[in-house]
Amino acid sequence: MKHLRWVSRVPVTLTAAKMLLDNMPQEAFNQSVRSGYRIALSCSEYAGVQQRWFVVESQARKDAEILYFLLPVYSSILLSELLH
């Protein structure tokens, strides 16, 4: 098992992942060879096992999240203006 290597997506609800995302400086990110993505590397240890975490930032995902949060705000403003 010493040579076992695998990849897993870590849920953001995991405390370590949350802390990493909250404290990851923008300078840690590098442009990916794939357009629209940036990647940062973080090393940690869990239960005596060295881990390498790659944080992948997607511009499309960021744009979608902005729309998700702003759409209700803009909708309520528009509705308010239409009713007055």
How do residues 17-74 score in pLDDT, each as one tens digit?
A: 889 889 999 999 999 999 999 999 998 887 888 888 888 989 888 888 888 888 777 7
| Number of compact structural domains in the chain | 1
Predicted pLDDT at 63: 86
Residue 21 lies in a domain: yes
Predicted pLDDT at 4: 62
Residue 69 lies in a domain: yes
Residue 49 lies in a domain: yes
Closest to 50 measured CA to CA, from 42, 40, 61: 42
Residue 2 lies in a domain: no
Q: Domain containing 29: what range?
A: 15-83
Closest to 53 measured CA to CA, from 12, 3, 2, 84: 12
Predicted pLDDT at 73: 75
